């Protein structure tokens, strides 16, 4: 079984496969030479030949054994080289693909699954290319070579041996369909377990806080048990198919030996030729027997390869060469739905995000607010309609120019586990300490630069040594030190203290005076001063206008704003009562 897609995947490394096969065939001829010399030794001993004859035979033995050793040595060296070249080539392709996709989603392959496939999956593909494929080609050629040689000795024995050989691949084909399903499930369960484990580790703090770690542990036990069961099915299948192949191989060889003896007794075949046939009978079956053993490795590799191929076949976003010089963003009749869904998330959305203005997108959860942001950042592509920047389609711009003009601050903006200075240098490698200090002052974080280690202070993993509000303000400061055309704030003020929220909103209002600013917020009090507000509901723009005009309409926006204000005032009054009690 050869998967054409996986065969194409290795590019220039194909040549090593054919060189390995050539060395294996050469090794077969050396094996035949050793067998021939053994039979010749018995023949010469039976005829009481001179001592010099044995000297030639010994020299012959040394020659063919040396040749067999060299072919085995170089075969293994080339297999190792092939494996290393394949792993390097496929990992480079996977890495390049992930880079080319950029912010695009990698489909259903999550971060843990992607890591497993690109690490252990590639290791399985290494065995597929370096072990299975050379063995496959060799197994097709070796029995034919042996048949051509032995047919001149006894066509009956040779034909019987050749006819029995295909029984091994037939047994392989018989289990291949079942094996494909088993290995596909194996990788699916393996990746699912890895995703769940990573999810558990990342959310361990929350699990402990809510005292649900035991519940999640049971979930992990279920995933582990599912993986154990599928692993046992794989082992049972391998053991059963190995047993069948052994029966066929040794049964066929035994039949060939029996016929050779019969030919000697009944038809006058030379005992020495019969000995040759007996010794090479097993050689007819060993290549395919080894192929059968490598078959399970191949199936595992193919299953992993399909995951990698799926990643490599993911369509790249189309980019052009134009430079972004205008921050106006226009949505024209945009429809969007996910590939595996029939439900539209956005329906005929037309929105203008003007330069030097603050445009807010509001609505209930699930209305499509964050989807708009994901389309602007090209995490996904529109299903129909178009998005324009300065009147040009997104795919007209170069990727470097597009992303260099865009700042994105969300509720979970990542701060690297590095120094404050390094985090700023990720955004602008030429930034000076004075510029960093100024940016920190603008977001009221100058206290960070006054710490004992100053700008060399290390931000812990997941920003555990600063508050949520400080983390959001730091993310904003990092984006301030590099001039952008477009600033997107996706729930940037959620789950933070009112002090940090006020600082961030003041900075957003200042940025909006000179840039295109898009604000996604669940809290409508933050969008009151926006130049334009779009209210979304079920993926549609239901209302648009300024806060004052929308309140006058007394529609859905007004109802949501009024209900939020009532809740906030009620909470404030209750807090004051508790403080005075």
pLDDT tens by residue, 442-466: 888 888 777 767 888 888 877 878 8
Q: Which residues contact 456 (CB under 8 A, 6 or more apart)?
A: 419, 420, 421
Alpha-carbon span 243 to 239, nearest angstrom:
6
Judged by DSSP in three states, 353 sits in strand
Contacts 24+ apart (CB under 8 A), 229-234: 230/182, 230/185, 230/186, 230/189, 231/186, 233/182, 234/182, 234/183, 234/186, 234/296
The pTM of the full predicted model, rounded to 2 decimals, is 0.66
Closest CA to 190 of 228, 235, 218, 239: 228
Identify the residue with better confidence: 520 or 229. 520
* β-bridge partners, 487: 407, 517
Name the superfamily (CATH) of residues 4-312: ABC transporter type 1, transmembrane domain (1.20.1560.10)
Closest CA to 161 of 74, 253, 242: 253
Identify the residue with better confidence: 255 or 178. 255
DSSP H or E segment with residue 285: helix 271-312
CA dist list (Å): 332 to 70, 367, 545: 69, 18, 18
Contact 241, 176 (CB under 8 A): no
Least confident of 93-102, 139-148, 420-429: 93-102
Q: Which residues contact 12 (CB under 8 A, 6 or more apart)?
A: 89
Q: Copy the structure tokens of residue 478.
A: 């990092």
Question: What does the mean pLDDT of the chain come to?
Answer: 83
pLDDT digits (tens, 9 = 90+) for 33-43: 999 999 999 88
Alpha-carbon span 201 to 207, nearest angstrom:
9
Residue with tokens 């080319």: 100
Alpha-carbon span 363 to 369, nearest angstrom:
7
Three-state SS sequence of 159-174: HHHHHHCCHHHHHHHH
Over residues 112-121, the mean pLDDT reads: 65
> What is the reported pLDDT for 73?
95
Q: How confident is the model at residue 302 (pLDDT cuts 50, 70, 90)?
A: confident
Q: How confident is the model at residue 62 (pLDDT cuts 50, 70, 90)?
A: very high
Contacts 24+ apart (CB under 8 A), 152-156: 153/269, 153/273, 153/276, 153/277, 154/259, 154/260, 154/263, 154/269, 154/273, 154/277, 156/259, 156/263
Q: How confident is the model at residue 108 (pLDDT cuts 50, 70, 90)?
A: very low
Q: Which residues contact 445 (CB under 8 A, 6 or more apart)?
A: 470, 473, 474, 477
Strands 486-490 and 406-410: parallel
Q: How confident is the model at residue 370 (pLDDT cuts 50, 70, 90)?
A: confident
Alpha-carbon span 461 to 414, nearest angstrom:
10
> What is the reported pLDDT for 179?
63
pLDDT digits (tens, 9 = 90+) for 526-545: 899 999 999 999 899 999 99
> What is the reported pLDDT for 456?
87
Q: How far is CA 449 from the centre of its chain?
A: 40
Identify the residue with better confidence: 355 or 239. 355
pLDDT digits (tens, 9 = 90+) for 392-409: 998 899 988 888 888 888
> What is the reported pLDDT for 98?
77
CA dist list (Å): 482 to 161, 345, 477: 76, 33, 10
Least confident of 353-367, 487-501, 549-563: 487-501
Closest CA to 39 of 276, 298, 295, 282: 276
pLDDT digits (tens, 9 = 90+) for 507-526: 999 999 999 999 998 888 88
Over residues 78-89, the mean pLDDT reads: 85
Contact 153, 273 (CB under 8 A): yes
> What is the reported pLDDT for 300?
67
Residue 74: exposure state from Cβ atoms within 10 A (0-12, 13-18, ≥19): middle
- DSSP letters, 55-99, are HHHHHHHHHHHHHHHHHHHHHHHHHHHHHHHHHHHHHHHHHHHHH
pLDDT digits (tens, 9 = 90+) for 375-389: 998 888 899 999 999
């Amino acid at each position: 079984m050869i998967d054409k897609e996986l065969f194409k995947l290795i590019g220039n490394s194909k040549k090593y496969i054919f060189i390995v096969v050539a060395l294996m065939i050469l090794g077969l001829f050396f094996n035949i030479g050793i067998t021939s010399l053994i039979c010749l030794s018995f023949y010469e001993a039976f005829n009481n030949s001179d001592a010099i004859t044995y000297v030639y035979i010994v020299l012959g033995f040394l020659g063919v054994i040396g040749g067999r050793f060299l072919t085995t040595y170089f075969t293994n060296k080339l297999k190792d080289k092939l494996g290393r070249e394949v792993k390097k080539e496929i990992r480079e392709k996977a890495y390049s693909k992930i880079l080319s996709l950029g912010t695009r989603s990698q489909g259903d392959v999550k971060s843990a699954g992607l890591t497993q496939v690109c690490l252990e999956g590639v290791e399985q593909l290494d065995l597929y290319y370096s072990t299975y494929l050379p063995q496959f080609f060799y197994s097709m050629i070796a029995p034919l070579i042996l048949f051509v040689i032995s047919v001149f000795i006894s066509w009956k024995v040779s034909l019987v041996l050749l006819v029995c050989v295909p029984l091994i691949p037939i047994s392989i084909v018989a289990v291949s369909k079942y094996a494909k399903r088993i290995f596909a499930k194996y990788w699916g369960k393996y990746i699912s377990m890895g995703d769940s484990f990573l999810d558990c580790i990342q959310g361990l703090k929350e699990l402990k806080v809510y005292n649900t770690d035991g519940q999640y542990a049971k979930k992990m036990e279920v995933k582990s048990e599912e993986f154990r069961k599928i692993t046992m099915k794989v082992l049972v299948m391998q053991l059963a198919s190995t047993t069948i192949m052994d029966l066929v191989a040794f049964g066929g060889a035994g039949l060939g030996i029996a016929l050779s003896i019969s030919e000697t007794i009944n038809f006058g075949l030379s005992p020495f030729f019969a000995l040759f046939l007996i010794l090479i009978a097993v050689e007819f079956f060993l290549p395919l027997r080894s192929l059968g053993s490598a078959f399970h490795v191949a199936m595992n590799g193919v299953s992993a390869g399909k995951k990698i191929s799926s990643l490599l076949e993911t369509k790249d976003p189309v980019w052009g060469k134009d430079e972004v010089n205008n921050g106006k963003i226009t949505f024209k009749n945009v429809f969007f739905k996910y590939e595996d869904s029939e439900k539209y998330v956005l329906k005929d959305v037309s929105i203008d995000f003007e330069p030097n203005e603050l445009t807010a997108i509001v609505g209930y959860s699930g209305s499509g607010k964050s989807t708009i942001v994901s389309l602007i950042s090209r995490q996904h592509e529109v299903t129909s309609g178009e998005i324009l920047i300065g009147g040009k389609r997104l795919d007209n711009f170069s990727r470097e120019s597009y992303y260099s003009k865009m700042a994105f601050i969300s509720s979970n903006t990542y701060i690297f586990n590095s120094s404050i200075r390094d985090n700023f240098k990720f955004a602008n490698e030429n930034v000076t300490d004075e510029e960093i200090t100024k940016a920190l002052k603008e977001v009221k974080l100058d206290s960070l630069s006054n710490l004992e280690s100053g700008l060399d202070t290390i931000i812990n993993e997941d920003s555990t040594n600063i508050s949520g509000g400080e983390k959001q303000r730091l993310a904003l400061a990092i984006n301030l030190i590099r001039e952008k055309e477009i600033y997107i704030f996706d729930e940037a003020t959620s789950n933070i203290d009112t002090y940090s929220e006020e600082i961030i909103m003041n900075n957003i209002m200042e940025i909006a005076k000179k840039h295109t600013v898009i604000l996604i917020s669940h809290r409508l009090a933050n969008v009151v001063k926006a130049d334009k507000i779009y209210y979304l509901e079920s993926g549609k723009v239901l209302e648009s206008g300024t806060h004052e005009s929308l309140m006058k309409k007394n529609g859905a926006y007004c109802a949501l704003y009024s209900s939020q204000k009532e809740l906030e005032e009620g909470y404030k009054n209750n807090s004051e009562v508790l403080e005075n009690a």
